[in-house]
Amino acid sequence: QKEVEQNSGPLSVPEGAIASLNCTYSDRGSQSFFWYRQYSGKSPELIMFIYSNGDKEDGRFTAQLNKASQYVSLLIRDSQPSDSATYLCAVNRDDKIIFGKGTRLHILP
């Protein structure tokens, strides 16, 4: 089992709808969870981090964490074409962060 798993997509969502991105992880000891956005040819950009079970909201973004199910998700409300990118889920293991392969999100105008 891979440490951090994401559906590679592409995930196509109409503009204005909610985009839901999912991620599972294997290490029950992980305590920190991150979502990065990466535009094609660019470096990853941190958009959300979460440490506690439940929801964390920041503008149009909501991160959800369920440690019992080893599941973390990212919701993007009112999706915009500029949200089209690859979203990387990342989980800490010891002193480093392990990344999933990312989900490509395409917002349809």
Partner 1 sequence: NAGVMQNPRHLVRRRGQEARLRCSPMKGHSHVYWYRQLPEEGLKFMVYLQKENIIDESGMPKERFSAEFPKEGPSILRIQQVVRGDSAAYFCASSPQIAGGTYNEQFFGPGTRLTVL
Residues in contact with partner 1 by the rule CB under 8 A: 31-32, 34, 36, 42-46, 49, 51, 88, 92, 94-102
The distance of closest approach from Cβ of residue 78 to partner 1 in the complex, given in angstroms and rounded to an integer, is 26
- Of the pair 73, 103, the CB lying nearest partner 1 is at 103
- Of the pair 15, 45, the CB lying nearest partner 1 is at 45
Cis bond leading into 81, ω under 30°?
A: no
The distance of closest approach from Cβ of residue 12 to partner 1 in the complex, given in angstroms and rounded to an integer, is 18
β strands within the chain, DSSP E: 4-5, 11-14, 19-25, 33-38, 45-50, 54-58, 61-66, 71-76, 85-93, 96-99, 103-108
- Of the pair 28, 109, the CB lying nearest partner 1 is at 28
The distance of closest approach from Cβ of residue 48 to partner 1 in the complex, given in angstroms and rounded to an integer, is 11
Q: How far apart are CA 60 and CA 76, in angstroms?
A: 6
Q: Note whether 6 and 103 are within 8 A (CB).
A: yes
The distance of closest approach from Cβ of residue 15 to partner 1 in the complex, given in angstroms and rounded to an integer, is 25
- Of the pair 94, 109, the CB lying nearest partner 1 is at 94
